[in-house]
Amino acid sequence: MPAPAALPSFAELGVIPEIVEALKQLGIDTPFPIQALAIPIAITGTDMIGQARTGTGKTFAFGISLLQRITVPTDPGYAELDVPGAPQALVMCPTRELALQVTRDLEVASSVRKARVLTVYGGVGYDTQLEALSDGVDVVVGTPGRLLDLANKRSLNLSQVKVLVLDEADEMLDLGFLPDVERLISKTP
For range 87-95, the mean pLDDT: 97
* Per-residue model confidence as pLDDT tens digits over 24-76: 999 998 999 999 999 999 999 999 999 888 888 899 999 999 999 999 999 99
Question: Distance between CA atoms of 26 and 42, rounded to whole angstroms?
Answer: 23
pLDDT in tens, 113-122: 999 999 999 9
- Is residue 128 predicted with pLDDT exceeding 60? yes
Listed in sequence order, the residues at least 6 apart from 131 whose beta carbon sits closer than 8 Å to its beta carbon are none
Q: Provide the 10 A C-beta neighbour count for residue 183.
A: 14
Distance from C-alpha of 180 to C-alpha of 79, rounded to nearest angstrom = 32
Q: Is 145 a residue whose pLDDT tops 80? A: yes
Q: How confident is the model at residue 6 (pLDDT cuts 50, 70, 90)?
A: confident
Beta carbons of 148 and 120 less than 8 angstroms apart? no
CB 181 within 8 A of CB 107: no
For the chain, give the mean pLDDT.
94
Q: What is the pLDDT of residue 4?
A: 57
Q: Is the pLDDT of residue 2 over 70?
A: no
pTM of the model: 0.93
Helix (H, G, I), strand (E, B) or coil at 36: helix
How buried is 147 (Cβ within 10 angstroms: 0-12 exposed, 13-18 middle, 19+ buried)? buried
Helices (H), the chain: 17-25, 33-43, 58-69, 96-109, 127-135, 144-152, 169-174, 178-186
What does the pLDDT average to over 86-90?
98
